[in-house]
Structure 1
Amino acid sequence: MELLSPAGTLEKLKVAVNFGADAVYAGVKKFSLRERAGNFTIEELKEGIDYAHSKGKKVYVTLNAFLKNHEIENFKKTVDAVAKLNPDGFIVADIGALSIIKDRTDIPIHISTQANVTNIVTVKAYKNLGASRIVLARELSLKEIAEIKKAVSNMEIEVFVHGAMCMAYSGRCLLSNYLTKRDPNRGSCAQSCRWKYYVVEEKREGELYPIEEDHHGTYIFNSKDLCALPLLDKLYEIGVNSVKIEGRVKSVYYVAVTTAIYRRAIDLIKNNPESFKTELPKLLEELDKVSHRPYTTGFLQQEKELQYYPTSSYIRKYKFLAIYKNNFWKVKNPFNIGDKVELFSKDGKSIKATIKKIVKNGEKQIHTAHTNYNVDIEFIPHLKPENYDIIRKEIT
């Protein structure tokens, strides 16, 4: 079972690869349904693909926007430019995009979750059209996924297992488009579903009434975040070919932690299923340390409470402080001598430590490390960091 992680930027791609992803998915500047992600120029994408391939990993390129007539020629040019870089697959939602790619290259084609594939007949139809993988709609249960995999065993099946969920059917929402003119299906969602909503009575203009009696307001469309880690062994037994982490616009820290934890979980399931059950509470505890909304297993177990009404705010228990690269700690958020921190490594484990000494640029001892500083750190107990290790601090 492949672990597929998000790569919104070149840095996130490298982090995902180093923290255990088998493959990453990345978008170019257009046609990738994530305008707020950094996305890749052709030059950056070449560097990313070359880097991943040098580590024995794969890169899938998302071109899953729904095309308009005036974009078709530009889309063809984009496909041609990306195909020369030898990616391992294209992810598309538009059936016309599938046709264009199939006519121009032999690179495998994956059907995006935006295509809303929910049944055996549709999977077979896409197989006949030349697709090699289906990213199933998120509205399916474990039972339905198993039925599809059994009926079309020669089609690769991919399932989302972690990250933000849209309150609309497979992300087909027009709320943002209507309220802000930012089209979710063109990659620029304003997340209008996360706003506070009140009721106005027709003849009492200006008087706002909460939909529920709650002084915070009511977040009636606010979806919980998906966390299918407890069901990962069941997806493995079904024969799901790839499990996918959402988050091309999420932080480097998010990519690192979620990738490492799902990597560890998959390895345990493959090699020692009983250990997976034993370690599951610790693995879930680590996922609680990244920014998230309340977790749910979503439609996989047909949970009924998929919305979270009290607030749309994220749960943030830890702050990402620095990442170790090229023999220095690259500071992401300020920290001080004496701070109690955790070092999180690529094997998904963390070690508690205290910062004893900070040296800037290899020469000047300082008390506080500020954002974008390059520093050496001496820890108590003594720790020897490895490339891409992370330090974080609990928010008190």
Structure 2
Amino acid sequence: GGDELTGFHWTEQALSEAIEMAHQSGSRLVIGLPRINREGQRQQWEPYLQMVSKLPSDGIILSDLGTLQLALEETTQPIFLNYTFNFFNSYGLKTLQNPHIRQYTLSPELTLEQIKEISRIGPEARLECLVQGPLELMISEYCPLHSLLEAGKQCGGLCRQNQYFLRDRLQLDFPIYTDQFCRLHLLNTKDLCLYGDLNRVSPVGNLVYRLELKTATANQVGFMVQEYHRALSAINKDQQLENDDFVIKEFKALTGRDITKGHYFRGVE
């Protein structure tokens, strides 16, 4: 669910089938709502929340205060809060403490040391951090594809027909996607990747690792999830991580993008 960036629309039937497949494989499935839910679009996202609330999923992930309040009033589903809530400290987490809230995703702008401190004094609910994938840099109502390529014409859905990028003065290409509300999502030119540093992250207790792969293909998702699962299993058994350089090289080959460690080890500059 959530922001539909690849053109696939999550109908009730598609969600039901995904939930069934996840549960049959011993996995959990949490359904997301869009990051931005404007008042004028209530006729779209409010019924969507009501629909997903009735499905036998393992929770709902929310990205703004409005849908959080609505979910607390109208559903008993476990609630997961997205990194868009910008949790930078334990006070923010405690402000939104509620028995229905099961997990908080921390801001990707935190350093690992700051995450350790929050996990030490924060709430008992699980904390999540992003470890893999292209992070969103910006969301905009402005569509450069329509403005530049279809000026004065009706939208022809160019965004669904090809892959587009914005190129900056350093000749770096930033992927752009549009969602079901025609909002532009600008992604980082590099993928966040902590695969080679999981042994530095794992000592932080009560931490869930999130792979942000909503624009990835099935093959990319399968390979990355498998390798992260293998690496974490090795770490849990106090075994040495092998071939991590090779795996990271494969990640780059699969996506065609370079990698970054984000702010975890250097902070925000």
**TM-score normalised by structure 2 residue count:** 0.79
Structure 1 residue 180, shift from structure 2 partner: 4.9
Distance 1:93 1:181, change over 3 A: farther
- CA separation in 1, counterparts of 2:145 and 2:99? 36
- Report what 2:233 is aligned to: 267
- Report what 1:77 is aligned to: 47
Amino acid at match of 1:233: N
- Report what 1:105 is aligned to: 75
Root mean square deviation, CA, Å: 2.9
- Report what 1:218 is aligned to: 171
Amino acid at match of 1:242: V
Counterparts in 2 of 1:1-396, with a 5 A limit? 27=1, 32-128=2-98, 130-166=100-136, 168=137, 172-174=138-140, 177=142, 179-180=144-145, 194-197=165-168, 211=169, 218-219=171-172, 223-271=189-237, 273-276=238-241, 278-302=242-266
Look up the SS of the partner of 2:31 in the other structure. strand
- CA separation in 2, counterparts of 1:56 and 1:42? 21
- CA separation in 1, counterparts of 2:86 and 2:20? 32
Asked if structure 1 preserves the Cα contact closer than 8 Å seen for 2:129 and 2:208, the reply is: yes
Distance 1:238 1:91, change over 3 A: same
- CA separation in 2, counterparts of 1:132 and 1:160? 17
Structure 1 residue 292, shift from structure 2 partner: 3.4
Distance 1:143 1:179, change over 3 A: same
Asked if structure 2 preserves the Cα contact closer than 8 Å seen for 1:134 and 1:157, the reply is: yes
Amino acid at match of 1:238: V
- CA separation in 1, counterparts of 2:203 and 2:23? 28
Distance 1:257 1:149, change over 3 A: same
Runs of 5+ unmatched residues, structure 2:
148-158, 175-187
Q: Give deviations 1:90-137, integer Å, cap 9, x for gaps.
A: 111111101111111211111112222222211111214852211112
- CA separation in 2, counterparts of 1:195 and 1:288? 20
Amino acid at match of 2:167: K
Amino acid at match of 1:237: P
Q: Percent sequence identity over matched residues?
A: 23
Higher-Rg member (1/2): 1
Amino acid at match of 2:236: K
- CA separation in 2, counterparts of 1:116 and 1:270? 30
- CA separation in 2, counterparts of 1:223 and 1:131? 33
Amino acid at match of 1:281: D
Asked if structure 2 preserves the Cα contact closer than 8 Å seen for 1:261 and 1:286, the reply is: no
- CA separation in 2, counterparts of 1:143 and 1:152? 14
Look up the SS of the partner of 2:69 in the other structure. helix
Asked if structure 1 preserves the Cα contact closer than 8 Å seen for 2:31 and 2:60, the reply is: yes
- Report what 1:376 is aligned to: none
Distance 1:73 1:253, change over 3 A: same
Asked if structure 1 preserves the Cα contact closer than 8 Å seen for 2:110 and 2:264, the reply is: yes
Distance 1:67 1:48, change over 3 A: same
- CA separation in 2, counterparts of 1:289 and 1:180? 27
- CA separation in 2, counterparts of 1:296 and 1:125? 32
Distance 1:304 1:79, change over 3 A: closer
Look up the SS of the partner of 2:133 in the other structure. strand
The count of corresponding residues between Structure 1 and Structure 2 is 244
Look up the SS of the partner of 2:223 in the other structure. helix
Runs of 5+ unmatched residues, structure 1:
1-26, 183-187, 198-210, 212-216, 306-396
- CA separation in 2, counterparts of 1:287 and 1:224? 11
- CA separation in 1, counterparts of 2:247 and 2:7? 27
Distance 1:94 1:44, change over 3 A: same
Higher-RCO chain (CA-CA 8 Å, sequence separation at least 6): 2
